[in-house]
Amino acid sequence: METDVAVINPQMPSYSELPFYSKQVRIALKNCGIIDPEDIDEYIARDGYQALAKALTEMEPDDVIATMKDSGLRGRGGAGFSTGIKWEFCRRSRNTPKYVICNADEGDPGAFMDRSILEGDPHSLLEGMTIAAYAIGAEHGYVYCRAEYPLAIAHLKTAIAQAEEYGLLGKYILGTEFCFYLHIKEGAGAFVCGEETALMASIEGRRGEPRPRPPFPAVSGLWHKPSNVNNVKSYAMAPQIVLNGADWFSGIGAPKSPGTAIFALTGNINRTGLIEVPMGIPLREIIYDIGGGIPDGKPFKAVQTGGPLGGCLPASALDTPVDFDSLVQAGATMGSGGMIVVDEDTCMVEFARYFLTFASAESCGKCVPCRIGGQRLLECLTRITDGNGLPEDLEEIEYISRNMREASLCALGQLTPGPVMAALRFFKEEYEAHIYEKKCPAKVCKGLITFSVIEEKCEGCMVCLRNCSSDAITGSKRMPHTIDIERCSRCGICATVCKFDAIRIE
Amino acid sequence: MPRLDNAQALTDLRESLKNSFQERRAREISITVGMGTCGQAAGAGDTYQALERELAGRGVTVNLRTVGCIGMCVKEPLVDIQLPGAPRVTYANVRPAQVPRLIEEHVLNGQAVTEWTLGFVPDEW
């Protein structure tokens, strides 16, 4: 084979030599982009369903649970609870029947980790869930996936049908007594349905609203029966752990967060993409080595992990190892795997406000702290970005945030203030500039900036005049133009179209 | 599809599949398009159709297949070309207009269009 590469091009790098891949370790993404996800044979040829066969024929359910516990796998949905212990709780519950549920309700803006696995390697999820069902003693399972993922659902359906035909799913799997039936529940896309109790309520056909825990799903879940809820990535890793052993998995990554983390790397970064890295890798290596740094050589400003319920970290935190505990310690969260990088042109107040707009719109409204708190917090931040921020707003933000965190019913309400609190912690001076000086340092917030023409630079080409969205620019050919501040909607088109850098933003 | 009644049947199937895939790789030209939602959003559907048209027009038979996302969103649409016994070479940001040259030079003449290549997928992947 090597000779053939040389024939085609001696300089052509292997994927393993590309900066994007050289630091990655692909476990859950092992098959993604390599195999045809609609052909079970390609999965089987790459040792697919071998872990299931091993579990069913060589292991007792308790052995499977012991392996999962020993591997140290922590739930990849974000909370980071031990997957093995979760399975054990469910196994020990006396009530029957039991259910295995996959939380594929991925809804964070800019996140596509779960979708990529569902679309690119659906059998790894099926196999992981079937192994979990065997360990727990469940006969039915549900994949809760949002209807906005039509391709993921189509590939899942194909995968289920093919696995059933081979006898790898359904009745008497691989000739054993064990039966497991998998169903798909298409969600309508409410963000709160990613919360496990709301998710189960939605499967039951009720309104997707959370309820207090305990009782935890392992005791009383779907239809009040013991249920195990895991994220797509957690299930997808299970077959590799069973096949290669707990020691293999715990040897990868960080001691207290073994294995790999999957991130959807987006934002102001050169190489956006889906990556799987060993836990413990410094943020800097993800952003600069894998992601290739910030476009146009601009300085890094912040990285948001954990999506709209996570938090941002500043440049001083770039050496933080990426694992569950270190990220929390640094002031962010692991979350489900969204990683959004922003450069100096991003206003951190507006950035937090964006996530808050999302989270408060997605509040289900069941509990007061989340329903009212999110709204009040949003009003506060909107006031600040509009240029009407009051000195007491910073205290107000802290007060509302503290109450939401402590009194909200579920993680959605508890974590909604997360992005604002993190931004306030690391970028307080930006908030203060908005409130006291009525300035937006990043020159983003429309209420705080004005556009004007730099006369010496203006060539009078009339391009800005013709493109102005609010007819605020006047002037004639080859004469410097002027912008009427009263009419200007601060859309910024003039600055974008000007070829002479003659628009000043203050 | 035969029902697999025990673990051995699964292992046997794996071995026979491995052999038949290997055998196909030794004689077939394979072209792979990343067609996850991300690829399609980047225009992989048009690229795929262009490949189909070009191959049909020239009467070339290849194993044209689709895969999910391999992670390099910024390089989508991704097209891999693998000649018999040769490595799987990846082309980045492939637009329909580039397809004729890819077929002409790489598929028919065995010369990779080096200015568009990204790398090759190692065997152990």
**Assigned token pair, A350:** 């507006």
Give ∠ CA B73-B74-B75 in degrees, rounded to 5: 90
Q: Which element (helix H / strand E) includes A198?
A: helix A196-203
CA distance A196 to A235: 15
Contact A4 B10 (CB under 8 A): no
Domain ranges of chain B: 28-121
From first CA to last CA, the distance across chain B in angstroms is 27
Smallest Cβ–Cβ distance between A165 and the set B1, B10, B68 belongs to B1
Mean pLDDT for B105-118 is 94
Contact state of B69 with A8 under an 8 Å Cβ cutoff: no
Interatomic CA distance for residues A235 and A380, integer angstroms: 40
| B10 interfaces chain A, CB cutoff of 8 Å | yes
**DSSP-based three-state secondary structure for A344:** coil
Per the CB < 8 A criterion, the answer to whether A413 and A370 are in contact is yes
- Look up residue A452 and give its two tokens: 């004007």
Task: Show pLDDT as tens, one digit a residue, over chain A (506 residues).
Answer: 344 554 556 679 999 999 999 999 999 999 999 999 999 999 999 999 999 999 999 999 999 999 999 999 999 998 899 999 999 999 999 999 999 999 999 999 889 999 999 999 999 999 999 999 999 999 999 999 999 999 999 999 999 999 999 999 999 999 999 999 999 999 998 999 999 999 999 999 999 999 999 999 999 999 999 999 999 999 999 999 999 999 999 999 999 999 999 999 999 999 999 999 999 999 999 999 999 999 999 999 999 999 999 999 999 999 999 999 999 999 999 999 999 999 999 999 999 999 999 999 999 999 999 999 999 999 999 999 999 999 999 999 999 999 999 999 999 999 999 999 999 999 999 999 999 999 999 999 998 999 999 999 999 999 999 999 999 999 999 999 999 999 999 999 999 999 999 999 98
B92 contacts chain A (CB < 8 A): no
A204 CB-side CA count, 13 A: 18
**Residues of A with CB below 8 A from B18's CB?**
45
Q: Write b or e for each residue in A265-304: b if 16 or more Cβ atoms lie within 10 A of its Cβ, otherwise e.
A: bbbbbbbbbbbbbbbbbbbbbbbbbbbbbbeeeeebbbbb
B74-109 pLDDT, tens digit each? 999 999 999 998 999 999 999 999 999 999 999 999
Residue-averaged pLDDT of chain A: 95
Supply the pLDDT for residue A6. 46
- Which residues of chain B neighbour A149 with C-beta distances below 8 Å? 37
Parallel, antiparallel, or unpaired for β A273-278 and B117-121? unpaired
A286-303, pLDDT tens digit by residue?
Answer: 999 999 999 999 999 999
For A150, the closest chain B residue by CA position comes to B37
CA B63 to chain A, closest CA, distance in angstroms equals: 12
Six-digit token string for B61: 């038979």
Domains, chain A, ordered by start: 23-250 (3.40.50.11540), 260-343 (3.10.20.600), 348-436 (1.20.1440.230), 450-505 (3.30.70.20)
CB nearest A166 (choices: B3, B6, B110)? B3
Alpha-carbon distance B103 to nearest alpha carbon in chain A (angstroms) = 15
Mean pLDDT of B30-53: 97
Is the N-terminal amide bond of A97 cis, ω within 30° of 0?
yes
CA gap A483, A451 in Å, rounded = 7
Determine the Cα–Cα distance for residues A90 and A80; give it in Å rounded to an integer. Answer: 17
Res A100: pLDDT: 98
Tell me the pTM: 0.94
Instruction: Give the number of other Cβ atoms within 10 Å of residue A403's Cβ.
Output: 17
d(CA A418, CA A433): 21
DSSP A251-280: TSB-SSSBSEEEEEEEES-SS-EEEEEETT
In chain B, which residue's Cα lies nearest the Cα of A166?
B3
Give A253-286 pLDDT, tens digit per residue.
999 999 999 999 999 999 999 999 999 999 999 9
Q: Are strands B63-67 and B30-34 parallel, antiparallel or unpaired?
A: parallel
DSSP letters of chain B? -----SHHHHHHHHHHHHHHHHHHHHH--EEEEE-SHHHHHTTHHHHHHHHHHHHHHHT---EEEEE---S-GGG-S-EEEE-TTS-EEEE-S--GGGHHHIIIIIIIT----GGGEEEEE-TT-
Q: What is the 3-state secondary structure (H, E, C) of A133-175?
A: HHHHCCCEEEEEEECCCHHHHHHHHHHHHHHHHHCCCECCHHH
Tell me how far apart the alpha carbons of residues A283 and A317 are, in angstroms, rounded to a whole number. 8
Pairwise CA distance, residues A285 & A423, whole Å: 22
Nearest-CA distance B58 → chain A (Å)? 23
Q: Which distant-in-sequence residues (6+ apart) come within 8 Å of B72 by Cβ? A: A20, A271, A273, B78, B92, B118
Chains A–B, number of C-beta pairs less than 8 Å apart: 160
Q: Which of B4, B21, B67 has its CB closest to that of A33?
A: B67
Amino acid at the residue B13: L
Superfamily of domain B28-121: Glutaredoxin (3.40.30.10)
Q: Which residues in A lie closer than 8 A to residue B65 (C-beta atoms)?
A: 36
Taking the C-alpha atoms of residue A465 and residue A475, their distance in angstroms, rounded to an integer, is 8
Query: What distance in Å separates the CA atoms of residue A256 and residue A247, rounded to the nearest whole number?
Result: 14
Residue B1 forms contact with A (CB below 8 Å)? yes
**Would you call B74 and A12 a contact, using CB atoms and an 8 Å cutoff?**
no
CA distance, residue B72 to nearest chain A CA (Å): 5
Task: Flag if B120 and A274 touch (Cβ within 8 Å).
Answer: no
Confidence band for B125, pLDDT divided at 50, 70 and 90: confident
Do the chains contact at B74 and A271, CB–CB below 8 Å? yes
CA distance linking residue A124 with residue A32, whole number of Å: 10
- A436, burial (CB in 10 Å: exposed 0-12, middle 13-18, buried 19+): exposed
* Residue A371: its H or E element: helix A368-386
Taking the Cβ of residue B5 and every Cβ of chain A, the question of whether any pair is shorter than 8 Å is answered with yes
Which residues fall within 8 angstroms of residue B47, CB to CB, at 6 or more apart?
B33, B77, B79, B94, B95, B96, B99
Is residue B90 within 8 angstroms of chain A, CB to CB? yes
Residue whose token pair is 């891999």: B80
